[in-house]
Structures are given as C-alpha cells and as structure tokens.
C-alpha cells in the first residue's frame, strides 16, 4: 500500500482507488478529481473526502441512483453546508476558540502511530477478526458492564486464542465511555505483547505471505531477471598455488589416478596429478565413478604418491604436453594446420588453476611413480610442433602419407588427420595383409580404391601400401552425468570401433599419441571437475569448523552434496538434504518462537516463523556469509574446461561483464546459454531460491552426519538463533495447570490411555483438547500446541521417509510426505483413537460435523462407496498434532519418546501401500496426462475464499466450486469434486505411481535422524533456578493474572523449610491431579479423608493432634469492585518433623470463608500426599 501511495505522490500513477479508509489516516495529495462511489454516511466523512479535492480547479463528484430523492437531498444538504462554512470562515472577525473534550490517545513513540479511544473499538474488532478462525469459530470481543462506586466498568472478554483473556477498564460516567476506555487499554496491552505491530495494526495474514511465495515460484517468465543474480564461483585456493619456470627445482606432490574399468574392455594409460600443495586428507581419498555408454563405468581413485622434483626443462616439457592434449581434446581444429605453437598459453597470470596431468610408469614394490618422459618427448617432437623438413627414408621402413614420407614406427600409436573426412584418428597398427586393392566391407565397390573413387572422387597414387588400422578420436562428454535411462541396464562390453585407412590420405600429427593415452585423457576433465568441487566443499567445511567446533563432524562429501543442485545432473544433489533441512528448520525456529512468545497466537507464530525461514531471509543471510560462491549449479560442460595450458579466453572486467553474461533475448534459451558461459572470474547466474535451498541442504547435511547440535550451531553462525532456555519449558508446563478445572480425574486418565503417555503436567493434555470456540475458562486453546505438534510431526515423518527409502528421488519423497501428512489422514487417526469424544468446544455445529464424520469413518468400506462422505472437519487433524505437541512439552522435548508415539499413531498410514495424492495433485496429474487445461479462478469475500475449478480439453469441459476460510482447502475441495465427476465419465490415471514406488523401492529400518539433544527435566521446579524470588508471586499472578475475577484457579502449595530457599519444593502440577469439577461450576480439592466438618476445622484438629502450632490463615489478595470482590487466602502450617513450613495459597472466592476453606483443602491434600496424616 505504501509503495502505491508513493507512486501516486510522485506522479508514476495518476489513478487511485481506495475504500473509505482513504478518508483519513493516509497522506494522499490533493487531487484534480474525486469520485465517491458510495455516499458519505456522516458530515465528517464528507469533509474528509471533500478535502482531497480542495484546489480551486478540482472537481468532486457523487455517484447516486437516478431518481433517488433521499440521496439527492443529502447531496444538496452537503453542498449547502459547505457554502455556509465557506461564508462563515471568510467573514469571521472573532478569535474566540471553542473547547472540545479531549480523548485519551495511546501513542507508540518508535513509529509515531497513535489511536484514540474512539477508534480503539473498531481496531479491537479488527484485531480479533485476524485471529486464527474457521467456519465454527468467529473470534470477536464480548463486552460486559457493571456498576461501581466510581461509575460504570466495562469488562472485555477476548477470544480464547488471544494473548490476553480479560480486560477491565476504569470506572467511567457512561457505558460508552467505559467501553472506549477498556478498548484503549486492551490495545495498549496487545501492543506490549507484540500482538499488534508498532503501527498498531495486526500482523499480515498468512494468506498474504502465501500469495507472495506462490507468485515467486510461478513458471511465468515475467520477472525472471529479478529472480536470478550473477555470482562468482569459488576456485579452490589449493589449485591457485603456482610455480614459476625460473625456479631451478620445483617440488610437486604426486597423486596416481587409478583407473578400474567395469568391464575391463579398454586399456588406459597410467596418469598422475601433480600439484604444488598437498591435498587435504578427504581430497586424497577421492573416489568417483565415471559413467560410459551401455552401463559401463570406470572407478577412479586417487593414490598419494609422494613428492616429485622437476627441473626447469622438465617442467616446461610437462606444461607443453598438457597444453598439447588439451588442444587435441578441446581445440582440435588447430591441428588441421601444418604447424601448432605451444607455450603461448602457459602464462601463470592467465591460468585459473595450477596442476599437471602427465603419463607415468609405476615401478618397484611400492609402485613408485616415474613420469613417462619418453612418451612426452616423442609427442612433443612431432613435426607439427617442430616444423622438421621431410627426410628421405628407405622404402621398407616408411610409408607415404599426405604430409610426406614417415617412418612406420612413428605412424603406429600416433594421431593422424584425414582431410577428406575432416576427422582425427588414433593409428593402432599397420595392416600388412591389406592394401588399397583389398576388398572393402560394407560397400558395393570391389576394393578400397574403387570405394574412394565412388564416394569421394579420390584416386590413390600408392594403392599397394598397407592400410592403417584406425580408431576415431572421441568427442569429450560429461562423464559425471546421471544417466537415468541406463540405471537398470545391464553392463555390456562395447567392442571398439576401427576402420582401415590408406596411408596417403592421412596426415601425421602427433607421434606416440596412442589410443590408450586418448582413453585416459577422455576421463581427466570429469575427474578434475569433481576434484575441484570437492576441494570447494572442503574449504567451506574448514570455514565452518573454524567458526564452530561442531562443524568438523560433517564430511566434505556431504557438504558437496548440499552444494550441488539438480541442474548439475550428477548422481548427487542437494534435494533430499534440503527436504530434511527444511523440516528441521521449521521445527527448530517454531520451537524457539513458541517458548519465547508465550502469548502469541498460532497465526502470529506461523507468520514469524515464515518470516525467519522464508527464501528471502535465507538468501540474505547466506549472501552475508558469502555462501553463494561455493554453490555448484551448472552441469559440467567439457568445452568450458580450463586449466594450465588452456586459459579462459573471456577476460571478465566491470566493463565487459554485462556483454559476457547478458540475459537478453528468450528467457528459456537465452538464460540457459548465458548461464553456461564461463569467464575468467567464474561468474554464473544463480536463482535466489537456489541459494536458500543450499542453506536448507547444509542444515540437512549437519543433521545426517552430526546431529541437531551441529545444525543448531550452523544456524546460529548463519544468524538464526534456535536455542532456548530450559526454564521456559518448565514455565510453559507449570502454566498449563490453569486448564486443570476443565475435567475430572477419570477423564484425564482416559485421555492418557488414548494418547499412550502419562503426563507430569496434565494441564497440557487438557489444553490439547480445548477448541478456540470454548471461552468459559481463563483463556487458551489447543492452537499453540497444534503449531508445535505440526512442526515436530513434519520433521519426524520426513526423517522416517528419508531413512526408510534411501534411494527415493526427492520429488517422490515430497509427494509421499504430502500423502502422509494431511488433515484427512490425521482426522481418521483421531476418530480411530476416539480423540473426538473428548473435544472441548462451544459450537453445536462443530459437534455435529465431528459426529457425522466420525460415524462415516467407522462405516464399513462397502457402505462408504454408496454415498459421498461428509466434509472432514479440520479440528480432528488438529487434535492429533496438539496432542503430540503437549506430549513433546511434557517430555521436555524428548524426540525419542515422540518418535515411538508417532510410529504407533501413524502405523496404519506409514505401513499401507494404499497411498493417495491429495485431490489437487490427482487432478493436476490427470490433466497433464490428458493435455487438458486446468484453472482455479479465486475470489475473496470477507473471510471466505471462493474457488472454481475448471477443466477444459478435448471432449471435456467441467467445473466445480468450493468455498473455505483457507484458500488451499477450498482448492482441494473443488479439485476433489471435479475429480469425482471425471471418474464418473471414465477418466482416471492409469496407475498410482506412488503405490508402485512403494512396492518397488528398497525399504530400510526407520530411524530418527540427528536427534542428539538432552531432554529438559520438566520435573525440576523453578524454585531451584529463581534464587531468592518469592515463589508465591509467580504462582499467584503470573499464571492466573487475567482470570482472577471470572474463573477460580487451583490452589498453589509452597512447602517451605528452615533451610535455604534453593531446597524448597513447588508442586502445582501434583496438586492439580486432585482437582475435581463440581456441578455448581466451582472447584474443590479432595483428600479422600472422612468428613469431619469443614476443611478449616479439620486442619485445626490435625495440628492439635500433632502438637503443631495452630494454622495461620491470612487474606493475601482481593480484587474487583466493592460490590463484587474476590478474595484469596493463604494458610501457613509449621510442621516440626520434618522441620518445614507449609504455605498453601487458595484460589479466588467471592467470600472470605470460602477462600480460607479452599486454602485449607489444599493444605490437607499436601499433608496426605506427603504421608503426614
């Protein structure tokens, strides 16, 4: 909104359409034309909008119904009043001022935003409307009034999912004034609790955030440039360490590259990598498989072979040899000329990396590495490099080639060029038994000579010369490529392809350059590309290890996996780790927010979590740490392979950067081409989302290799704090005791049996079943627990799928998770476990909907097919998540315990092969398979989204409509309706690919991945951590501060001793187990003792019988207006053996006698449970 107003002020926009909110509060400049679509309701409204057109030439128009006399009279009245006001102002002679009653205003100093008591009423209603709600719950404030000596007091009861439950205003002379005062006070409290922003507005809804995310992930090419950024790719530091030819002796570290072909159908010349600095240990252990045609592959392993010393002449020859073979495999067109120059590209300034790849000989027992200098010298002595004049040779040792007479020994195992074919060939041997007059296979011609005449018009001059056996020079490929089509293919030997060539048609290029050398160098670029990427991963790991000690535990290979995107098309990618990391990130951030902000509702917690974990924030944090330079996001292109001897020809500067990496033109082709262009600075285009994905993948890498602690340390280093204090967990557990009056003990036991967990803090269990529509208690509902349970369940199911299906592709992993984690599946679990029977709500419609769905679920499968089932209430699925959230808190975040419960809860789903996609995906897959057009036009009226699903294609044109307060749910409902119609017409997917995947996939044991935290001991009481603070201050006001007047709270017991305060015991949770709810709506503490009159008299009898001092009763708190006060009592009992002082605080009661009685009941209960009765 602000950006639109700014464009209007600056003239970029000249038309503004606004609701009546534009009448005030917005800085809108004076306009030339103002049109009112709706008539002003008040004179004030008229004046505000009229002020937008106050220039002399401005026009102000109304739109009214023709012939509507009332509206026309109202306009005349406004016009008349305006004329009269202008006359009075222009003819005014007095400076007298008129006093106006001042309104109370609450102002935020930080932003300057303010709200008056008048507008606080509508703002409070607006805030409540933004609270999480559904079709069974409409959050709004309720107002109650009562008279006091000072005037009328307004009491506001807010919805149960608001951070505060009750607000009492100050006495005022009227109900209207009392309402304004209470609303303004509520606004102030909500702002201090962060429920309202510094601009005194509710935080943006999640729907708005989702729409932004959806648009950012769309396939629309519009805005493509803005979603990609140009970043530099890091070159490993160790490869940049150079040497100079001027050095007399150069010491390099040698690493033998061992080739193990499967099957062994090729011979590979032994090669070795030489580098200035020693490789890190994990790089020295490099192992990689290079994939060839027909399922063949070569296993590569680096073997450290010690230092090797080069003199100046040797290092020069070595550099020339590397330059030579790089030209052969990448720039072979240079060899079509008669002379090729070497040494021009060996400059250290232009080389991106410094290493040498040379042929070697292994000798001795230890396989000592010796450079094959004979091969090196022979290749470099070739005429194409030396420019040697033709010499005369005996006819029995030479052959006539196209470029002169050459020795037979030089021709064998050499590289030649055939001009008429424009191809290069390796010559393996001379076929003495065949010549140009020999028959030619695969041709109608009788012999080779005739074949050449017919095909190329070439006449042989020396047909009697023996033919040359030749193998074509290979085309370089990316051998790291993930060849999916050959995953299941059997490994087959591939016979080498040879042809016979007449010598006089061949030009000798490189002597001694055999096909064995060619086979080896065809693998080297892919090997070095993987090594370079691994070294980058090792550098990042080193950086992280130096930043936090836990970073040392992750392996470099796992880091490399997290840095490699699917676009690289290799056999490793970040997507599986990203899914795991994303689930942990949401859980960890959500857990911290839950504990840190104990007053925020589920919607605000979700919004804040989204703000912390969204792609934009992850992108910002990653770039701040320079993580983007480590990312590998391009498939290896051998043509773009640059090394010592082949520098990058595109020198990138600030001036040339734009032209080298331009994204102009067609986005699909143009950007792909631009992203492949390599420059001297290794720039490449990165999607912003890719950087965020890498962050999540790195989180997943730490979880898999190390655990939660390492992932937490990484997030802290990145700038996302997810740690928490144990005391906050204990506080949340203790605060749950406010829910204890909601159910009798037998209900609690039954619920514990249902969920399979005995609670230390049973209030958490009760809270897990309180629907937000229920407001007859002190506030609170299951939604916060649902938020926590949803986050942990998402991680646990992701961990399950990640461990059970290790070979499952990322896309299938996501689809399976969506199939398992959905409201309908959870709702069925809730019904089967009878959770719905214990739901605490205040909505008859909800109760009927739950009952109808529960009956449908328990209907026999044969009967279900006869009619369409009722709509699945979301509350049922929420109950499963809230129960898990409650158990998670009650166990101090013991995920091992939750893991076992999750497996038992979801066993019917996880072990079923009958897995269905959600209706939207089902419909989408069907439309794609049939090439139909699928659309979901959406509109919103009030709080409801209206969605229409449309399918249009050959012989098909269907639509279905649905509405829901949640846009995603509305789309799913509409999809399900139209999918049913299509099935009735005979359209369906041929097979359920998820079921096929489950049947065919390798299945492993389920594991909880990464959990290494120590659970919080929630049995430890807060008095051991709060030093000298008074415990009764916490128990009396912190938990029940907003419900003292309306809902009696359970008694609180403090067992004090004569010893230091650090040894005191505080047991509100244990006490809560004996609270029962009477028919009258009050609470009572039971001790199971015979009835001896009142609890107060019984306590006196016990003290007398034990020779203790009489109990001391004291009124410690009173609140409320004079005619309706509530009182709280405490009782102090000095117990001689053991030496202790017992203080018991009773709940608030409208009479002092009842308050004292309640405190006495608590003391009796404690004495009995401690065995002192």
Q: How would DSSP label each residue in 959-1021?
A: EEEEEESSHHHHHHHHHHHHHHHHHHTT---S--HHHHHHHHS--------S--PPPP-TTS-
Three-class secondary structure of residue 273 per DSSP: strand
Quick check: 683 and 652 in contact, CB under 8 A? yes
Q: Compute the distance between CA of residue 162 and CA of residue 501 in angstroms, rounded to an integer.
A: 88
pLDDT at 234 over 70: yes
How high is the pLDDT of residue 261? Answer: 92
How high is the pLDDT of residue 442? Answer: 66
Confidence of residue 372 (pLDDT cuts 50, 70, 90): very high
Average pLDDT over residues 459-486: 84
More confident residue, 259 or 56: 259
How high is the pLDDT of residue 441? Answer: 78
How high is the pLDDT of residue 609? Answer: 95
How high is the pLDDT of residue 523? Answer: 95
pLDDT at 1033 over 80: no
Q: Compute the distance between CA of residue 694 and CA of residue 561 in angstroms, rounded to an integer.
A: 10
Note if 790 is an active site residue: yes
How high is the pLDDT of residue 454? Answer: 85
Three-class secondary structure of residue 884 per DSSP: helix
How high is the pLDDT of residue 444? Answer: 65
How high is the pLDDT of residue 145? Answer: 92
In sequence order, the 6+-apart residues with CB closer than 8 A to the CB of 984 are: none
How high is the pLDDT of residue 1070? Answer: 34
How high is the pLDDT of residue 749? Answer: 86
958-970 burial string, b = 16+ CB within 10 Å, else e? Answer: bebebbbbbbebb
Confidence of residue 1075 (pLDDT cuts 50, 70, 90): very low
**CA-closest candidate to residue 494, choices 504, 503, 484, 486:** 486
pLDDT at 163 over 80: yes
Three-class secondary structure of residue 172 per DSSP: strand
DSSP state of 144: E
How high is the pLDDT of residue 439? Answer: 86
The dihedrals phi and psi of 554, each to the nearest 5 degrees, come to -80, 145
* pLDDT tens readout for residues 865-901: 556 678 888 999 999 999 999 999 999 999 999 999 9
How high is the pLDDT of residue 1158? Answer: 87
How high is the pLDDT of residue 1042? Answer: 28
Which two structure tokens, joined as six digits, stand for 212?
């932004």
Question: Using CA of residue 1039, residue 1044, residue 1049, residue 1051, what is the dihedral sign?
Answer: positive
Q: Choose the catalytic residue: 790, 922, 969, 1023.
A: 790
Average pLDDT over residues 374-396: 78
pLDDT at 391 over 70: no
Q: Choose the catalytic residue: 881, 1023, 1143, 1157.
A: 881
pLDDT at 673 over 70: no
Lowest-confidence region among 165-174, 341-350, 741-750:
341-350
How high is the pLDDT of residue 29? Answer: 66
Secondary structure string (H, E, C) spanning 287-335 = EEEEECHHHCEEEEEEEEEEEEEEEHHHHHHHHHHHHHHHHHHHCHHHH
- What mean pLDDT is reported for the chain? 82
How high is the pLDDT of residue 497? Answer: 87
Q: Compute the distance between CA of residue 985 and CA of residue 973 in angstroms, rounded to an integer.
A: 19
* Length of the chain, in residues: 1173
pLDDT at 38 over 60: yes
pLDDT at 576 over 70: yes
pLDDT at 1005 over 80: yes
Give the Cβ contact number of residue 347 at 10 Å: 10
How high is the pLDDT of residue 24? Answer: 53
Quick check: 227 and 530 in contact, CB under 8 A? no
Average pLDDT over residues 498-505: 92
How high is the pLDDT of residue 1120? Answer: 66
Average pLDDT over residues 597-607: 90
1001-1019 burial string, b = 16+ CB within 10 Å, else e? Answer: beeeebebbbbeeebbebe
pLDDT at 198 over 80: yes
The strand pairing partners of 93, in sequence order, are: none
pLDDT at 758 over 80: yes
Confidence of residue 1142 (pLDDT cuts 50, 70, 90): confident
How high is the pLDDT of residue 21? Answer: 54
Confidence of residue 348 (pLDDT cuts 50, 70, 90): low
**Range with the largest mean pLDDT of 160-174, 574-588, 927-941:** 574-588
Lowest-confidence region among 254-258, 283-287, 1018-1022:
1018-1022
pLDDT at 1045 over 70: no
Secondary structure string (H, E, C) spanning 468-528 = EEEEECCCCCCCCECCHHHCCCCCCCCCCCCEEECHHHCEEEECCCCHHHHHHHCCHHHHH
How high is the pLDDT of residue 1008? Answer: 95
Confidence of residue 1036 (pLDDT cuts 50, 70, 90): very low
Note if 907 is an active site residue: no
How high is the pLDDT of residue 1027? Answer: 34
Residues above pLDDT 90, as percent of the chain: 38
Q: Which domains does the chain have, with CATH numbers?
A: 1-92 (3.40.50.300), 105-192 (3.30.160.380), 237-340+352-383 (no CATH), 547-651+680-718 (1.10.1520.10), 725-906 (1.10.1520.10), 1095-1170 (3.30.160.20)
How high is the pLDDT of residue 1152? Answer: 84
* pLDDT tens readout for residues 1082-1140: 333 333 444 446 888 888 888 877 888 889 988 887 776 666 677 888 899 888 766 77
Question: Using CA of residue 657, residue 659, residue 660, residue 666, what is the dihedral sign?
Answer: positive
Q: Compute the distance between CA of residue 1153 and CA of residue 1027 in angstroms, rounded to an integer.
A: 34
The strand pairing partners of 152, in sequence order, are: 147, 172
Quick check: 846 and 870 in contact, CB under 8 A? no
pLDDT at 87 over 60: yes
Could you tell me where the DSSP H helices lie in 805-894?
810-820, 823-832, 844-857, 861-864, 874-890
């Amino acid at each position: 909104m602000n950006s639109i107003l700014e464009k209007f002020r600056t003239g970029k926009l000249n038309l503004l359409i606004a609701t009546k909110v534009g009448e005030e509060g917005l800085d809108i400049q004076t306009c030339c034309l103002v049109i009112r679509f709706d008539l002003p309701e008040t004179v004030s409204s008229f004046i505000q909008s009229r002020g937008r057109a106050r220039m002399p030439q401005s026009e102000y128009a109304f739109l009214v119904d023709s012939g509507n006399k009332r509206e026309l009279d109202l306009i005349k009245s406004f016009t008349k009043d305006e004329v009269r006001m202008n006359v009075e102002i222009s003819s005014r002679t007095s400076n007298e001022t008129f006093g106006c009653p001042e309104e109370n205003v609450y102002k935020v100093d930080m932003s300057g935003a303010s709200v008056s008591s008048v507008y606080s009423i509508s703002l409070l209603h607006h805030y409540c409307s933004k609270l999480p709600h559904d079709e069974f719950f409409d959050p709004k404030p309720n107002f109650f009034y009562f008279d006091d000596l000072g005037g009328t007091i307004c009491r506001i009861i807010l919805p149960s999912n608001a951070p505060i439950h009750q607000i009492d205003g100050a006495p005022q002379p009227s109900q209207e004034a009392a309402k304004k005062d209470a609303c303004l006070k509520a606004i102030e409290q909500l702002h201090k609790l962060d429920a309202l922003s510094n601009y005194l507005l509710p935080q943006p809804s999640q729907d708005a955030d989702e729409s932004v995310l959806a648009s950012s992930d769309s396939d629309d090419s519009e805005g493509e440039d803005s979603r990609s950024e140009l970043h530099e790719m890091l070159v490993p530091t160790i490869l940049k360490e150079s040497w100079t030819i001027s050095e007399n002796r150069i010491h390099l570290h040698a690493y033998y590259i061992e080739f193990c072909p499967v099957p062994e159908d090729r011979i590979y010349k032994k090669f070795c990598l030489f580098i200035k600095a020693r490789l890190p240990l994990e790089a020295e252990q490099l192992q990689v498989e290079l994939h060839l045609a027909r399922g063949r592959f070569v296993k590569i392993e680096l073997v450290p072979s010690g230092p090797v010393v080069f003199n100046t002449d040797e290092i020069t020859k070595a550099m020339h040899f590397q330059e030579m073979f790089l030209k052969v495999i990448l720039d072979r067109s240079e060899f079509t000329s008669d002379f090729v120059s070497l040494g021009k590209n060996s400059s250290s300034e232009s080389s991106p990396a410094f290493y040498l790849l040379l042929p070697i000989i292994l000798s001795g027992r230890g396989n000592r590495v010796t450079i094959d200098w004979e091969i090196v010298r022979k290749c470099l002595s070739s005429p194409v490099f030396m420019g040697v004049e033709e010499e005369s040779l005996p006819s029995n040792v030479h052959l006539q080639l196209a470029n002169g007479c050459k020795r037979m020994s030089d021709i064998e195992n050499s590289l030649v060029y055939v001009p008429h074919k424009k191809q290069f060939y390796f010559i393996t041997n001379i076929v003495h038994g065949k010549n140009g007059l020999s028959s030619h296979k695969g041709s109608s011609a009788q012999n080779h000579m005739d074949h050449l005449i017919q095909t190329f018009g070439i006449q042989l001059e020396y047909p009697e010369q023996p033919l040359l056996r030749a193998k074509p020079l290979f085309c370089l490929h990316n051998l790291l490529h993930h060849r999916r089509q050959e995953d299941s293919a059997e490994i087959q030997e591939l016979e080498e392809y040879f042809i016979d060539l007449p010598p006089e048609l061949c030009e000798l290029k490189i002597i001694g350059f055999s096909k064995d050398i060619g086979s080896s160098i065809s693998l080297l670029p892919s090997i070095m590309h993987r090594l370079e990427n691994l070294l980058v991963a090792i550098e990042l790991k080193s950086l992280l290890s130096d930043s936090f000690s836990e970073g040392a535990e992750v392996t470099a290979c796992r880091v490399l996996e997290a840095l490699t995107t699917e676009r690289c098309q290799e056999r490793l990618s970040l997507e599986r780790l990203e899914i795991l990391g994303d689930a942990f990130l949401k859980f960890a951030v959500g857990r911290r927010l839950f504990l840190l902000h104990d007053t925020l509702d589920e919607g605000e917690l979700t919004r804040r979590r989204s703000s912390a974990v969204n792609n934009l924030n992850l992108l910002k944090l990653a770039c701040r740490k320079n993580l983007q330079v480590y990312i590998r996001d391009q498939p290896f292109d051998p043509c773009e392979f640059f090394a010592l001897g082949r520098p990058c020809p595109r020198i990138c500067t600030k001036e040339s950067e734009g032209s080298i990496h331009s994204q102009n033109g067609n986005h699909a082709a143009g950007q792909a081409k631009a992203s492949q262009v390599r420059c001297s600075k290794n720039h490449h285009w990165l999607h912003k989302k890719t950087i965020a994905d890498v962050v999540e993948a790195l989180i997943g890498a730490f979880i898999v290799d190390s655990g939660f602690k390492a992932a937490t340390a990484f997030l802290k280093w990145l700038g996302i704090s997810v740690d928490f204090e144990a005391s906050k967990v204990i506080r949340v557990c203790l605060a749950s005791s406010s829910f204890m009056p909601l159910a009798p003990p037998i209900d609690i036991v039954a619920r514990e049996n249902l969920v399979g967990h005995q609670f230390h803090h049973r209030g958490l269990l009760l809270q897990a079943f309180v629907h937000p529509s229920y407001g007859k208690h002190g506030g609170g509902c299951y939604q916060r627990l649902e938020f926590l349970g949803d986050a942990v369940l998402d991680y646990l199911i992701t961990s399950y799928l990640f461990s059970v299906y290790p070979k499952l592709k990322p896309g299938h992993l996501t689809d399976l998770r969506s199939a398992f984690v959905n409201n309908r599946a959870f709702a069925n679990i809730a019904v089967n476990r009878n959770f719905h029977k214990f739901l605490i709500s205040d909505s008859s419609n909800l109760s009927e909907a739950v009952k109808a769905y529960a009956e449908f679920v328990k209907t026999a499968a044969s009967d279900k097919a006869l009619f369409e089932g009722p709509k699945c209430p979301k509350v049922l699925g929420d109950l499963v998540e809230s129960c898990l959230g409650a158990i998670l808190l009650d166990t101090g975040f013991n995920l091992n315990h939750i893991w076992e419960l999750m497996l038992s809860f979801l066993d019917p789903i996880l072990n079923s092969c009958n897995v269905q996609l959600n209706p939207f995906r089902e419909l989408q897959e069907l439309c794609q398979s049939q090439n139909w057009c699928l659309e979901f036009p959406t509109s919103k009226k009030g709080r409801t989204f209206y969605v229409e699903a449309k399918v249009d294609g050959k012989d098909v044109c269907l639509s279905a409509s649905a509405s829901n307060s949640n846009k995603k749910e509305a789309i799913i409902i509409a999809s399900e309706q139209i999918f049913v119609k299509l099935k009735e017409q005979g359209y369906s997917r041929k097979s359920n690919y998820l079921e096929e995947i489950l049947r065919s996939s390798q299945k492993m044991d389920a594991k909880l991945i990464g959990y290494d935290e120590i659970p919080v001991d929630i049995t430890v009481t807060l008095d051991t951590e709060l030093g000298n603070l008074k415990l009764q201050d916490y128990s009396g006001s912190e938990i029940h501060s907003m419900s003292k007047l309306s809902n009696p709270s359970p008694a609180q017991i403090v067992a004090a001793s004569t010893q230091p305060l650090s040894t005191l015991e505080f047991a509100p949770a244990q006490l809560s187990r004996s609270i029962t709810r009477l028919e009258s709506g009050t609470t009572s503490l039971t001790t199971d003792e015979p009835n001896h009159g009142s609890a107060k008299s019984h306590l006196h009898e016990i003290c007398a019988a034990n020779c203790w001092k009489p109990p001391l009763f004291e009124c410690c708190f009173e609140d409320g207006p004079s005619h309706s006060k509530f009182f709280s009592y405490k009782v102090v009992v000095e117990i001689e053996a053991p030496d202790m002082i017992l203080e018991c605080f009773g709940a608030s009661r409208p009479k002092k006698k009842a308050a004292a009685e309640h405190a006495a009941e608590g003391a009796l209960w404690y004495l009995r449970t401690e065995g002192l009765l």
